[in-house]
């Protein structure tokens, strides 16, 4: 008896545990290089873990930016959408996990039936009679997961929840980066406005100079007209910058969940150069980019879908049980003789389905191949973004030095031509040309600094902003 009991227990364990049909998941390979191509000639910050975990924007050392970034998590509506989708994905994990357990339901009913006196084949005048029925029962049904269909469904939902958690971090990182970009764009607009306002003052002085010389008979009227044109053009440029600044301010307000009318930033020109950004090794990118992690989790999910499709080729085994009481009145409902029960099992096997299971399996395999390709493409795009911004920072740093020398030369040239004009040596066209060249170079210098700050933000975003794939460990709970 002991041996039979042990054998029966083993059989039950096998039936309840089942096996898993379908392929075992293996993380797909991704294109990785030993080093970044554009690192040559560009020094990154040391040590490599210098980038703050989470609050990556603090590397820029801007207290006002820090305050704004902290407001995104609590107020941005797009982030709330992504967070709600994560909660939905987690709920689906619990929903699918419920299929691992029996479903038990209770039912109670009462009925009274009187037969019709005009039923077919009934003798006229016969007593049709009436009957009553009371029923209370507990019913249980359970699918034995022999082939792993239910377990794979749970795992697929768990992988999707992890991918959705990574999507949330991707959205968070994108919004944080967008805020930083808008902020530095706004500060660059402040710098442009400050430059143009100072230039307007200088051009007003130049207009007074040409007017005085014209009134003294030392210069033609055309000099006054040229100076006035230069002044009005610069005023228009200064006004135009305020349009861009206003739009950037409105964009920042929306990102932190505030109406534009209730938000404002005091002008403060961009002047600080970008910090050095530690980028780590290329292989680390696969662990630090949430969008890469999301793509890899969806590959794992697609692999589970192949197993689910394969399980459809095997029979479904169901256990059913019911126990309850049935009586003709409340008085005898719970008598021993009113007890009823049933226990049974059923096996269902699809024999012919017109190729539906094969089509489902082929579709699952094709979907898996697509997710693998998407994972690899996401990885390639990530490497491109890192390389692009490394190149931008390295080249723009050199360009900034060259532009600084160009500004200094232009300012010296303007001073010399202005002095020569005062002395009557040159005409005012030389001054106008020097003014235009100087202003263009000064504005270009500010724009290069803006592009350097943008490239720094985009590089931080490209390397994952300090996020790590280990954060997904509990994402499906």
Residue 430 near residue 421, CB atoms below 8 Å: yes
Residue 124 near residue 178, CB atoms below 8 Å: no
Q: Residue 71: which of 92, 90, 87, 57 has the closest Cα? A: 57
- What domains sit in the chain, N to C, each tagged with a CATH number? 19-106+144-315+355-472 (1.20.1600.10)
Report helix, strand or coil for 48: coil
What was the pLDDT predicted at 48?
A: 47
Residue bearing tokens 């053009």: 233
What was the pLDDT predicted at 119?
A: 65
What was the pLDDT predicted at 117?
A: 60
Residue 176 near residue 71, CB atoms below 8 Å: no
Spacing of C-alpha 124 from chain mean position: 78
Q: Residue 290: which of 472, 460, 427, 449 has the closest Cα? A: 472
Instruction: Determine phi and psi for 138, rounding to 5 degrees.
Output: -115, 130
What was the pLDDT predicted at 236?
A: 97
What was the pLDDT predicted at 309?
A: 95
Q: Residue 133: which of 404, 326, 394 has the closest Cα? A: 326
What does pTM read for this prediction?
0.85
pLDDT in tens, the chain (477 residues): 455 554 544 444 455 455 788 899 999 998 888 888 887 755 555 444 455 567 899 989 999 999 999 999 888 999 999 999 999 999 999 999 999 999 999 998 888 776 666 666 656 665 656 667 788 889 999 999 999 999 999 999 999 999 999 999 999 999 999 999 999 999 999 999 999 999 999 999 999 999 999 999 888 999 999 999 999 999 999 999 999 999 999 999 999 999 999 999 999 999 999 988 878 788 888 888 999 999 999 999 999 999 999 999 999 999 999 998 888 777 787 888 888 889 999 999 999 999 999 999 999 999 999 999 999 999 999 999 999 999 999 999 999 999 999 999 999 999 999 999 998 888 999 999 999 999 999 999 999 999 999 999 999 999 998 788 887 877 666
Residue 432 near residue 387, CB atoms below 8 Å: no
Residue bearing tokens 């710098």: 191
**What are the strands of the beta sheet with 339-348, ordered from one edge?**
103-114, 130-144, 316-327, 339-348
DSSP string for residues in 224-243: HHHHHHHHHHHHHHHHHHHH
How many whole angstroms separate alpha carbon 283 and alpha carbon 285?
5
């Amino acid at each position: 008896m002991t041996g039979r009991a042990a054998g029966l227990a083993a059989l039950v364990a096998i039936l309840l545990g089942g096996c898993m049909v379908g392929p075992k998941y293996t993380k797909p390979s991704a294109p990785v290089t030993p080093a970044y191509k554009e690192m040559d000639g560009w020094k990154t910050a040391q040590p490599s873990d210098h980038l703050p975990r989470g609050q990556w924007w603090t590397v820029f050392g801007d207290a006002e930016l820090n305050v704004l970034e902290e407001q995104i998590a609590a107020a941005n509506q797009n982030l709330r959408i992504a967070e709600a989708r994560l909660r939905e994905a987690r709920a689906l994990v619990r929903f699918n996990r419920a299929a691992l357990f029996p479903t038990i339901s209770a039912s109670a009913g009462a009925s009274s039936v009187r037969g019709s006196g005009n039923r077919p084949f009934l003798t006229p005048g016969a007593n049709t009679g009436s009957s009553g029925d009371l029923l209370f029962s507990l019913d249980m049904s359970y699918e034995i997961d022999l082939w792993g269909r239910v377990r794979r469904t749970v795992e697929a939902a768990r992988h999707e929840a992890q991918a959705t958690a990574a999507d949330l971090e991707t959205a968070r990182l994108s919004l944080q980066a967008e805020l930083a970009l808008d902020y530095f764009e706004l500060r660059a607009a402040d710098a442009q406005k400050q430059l143009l306002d100072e230039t307007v003052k200088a051009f007003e002085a130049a207009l007074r100079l040409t007017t005085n010389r014209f009134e003294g008979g030392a210069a033609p009227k055309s000099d006054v007209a040229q100076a006035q044109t230069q002044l009005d053009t610069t005023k228009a440029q200064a006004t135009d910058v305020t349009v861009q600044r206003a739009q950037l301010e409105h964009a920042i307000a929306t990102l932190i969940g505030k109406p534009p009318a209730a938000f404002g930033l005091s002008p403060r020109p961009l002047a600080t150069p970008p910090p050095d950004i530690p980028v780590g090794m290329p292989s680390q990118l696969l662990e630090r980019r949430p969008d890469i992690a999301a793509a890899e989790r969806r590959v794992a999910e697609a692999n589970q879908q192949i197993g689910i499709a394969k399980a459809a080729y095997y029979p479904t085994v169901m256990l059913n049980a019911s126990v309850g009481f049935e009586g003709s009145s409340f008085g005898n409902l719970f008598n021993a003789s009113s007890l009823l029960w049933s226990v049974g099992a059923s096996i269902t096997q699809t024999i012919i389905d017109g190729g539906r299971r094969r089509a489902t399996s082929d579709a699952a395999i094709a979907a898996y191949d697509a997710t693998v390709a998407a994972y690899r493409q996401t990885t390639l795009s990530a490497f491109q973004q890192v390389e692009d911004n490394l190149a931008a920072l390295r080249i723009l740093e050199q360009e900034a030095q060259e532009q600084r020398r160009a500004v200094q030369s232009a300012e010296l040239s303007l001073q010399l031509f202005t002095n020569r004009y005062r002395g009557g040596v040159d005409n005012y066209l030389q001054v106008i040309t020097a003014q235009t060249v100087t202003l263009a170079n000064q504005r270009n210098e500010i724009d290069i600094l803006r592009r350097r700050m943008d490239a720094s933000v985009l590089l931080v975003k490209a390397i994952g902003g300090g996020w790590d794939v280990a954060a997904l460990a509990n994402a499906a709970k």
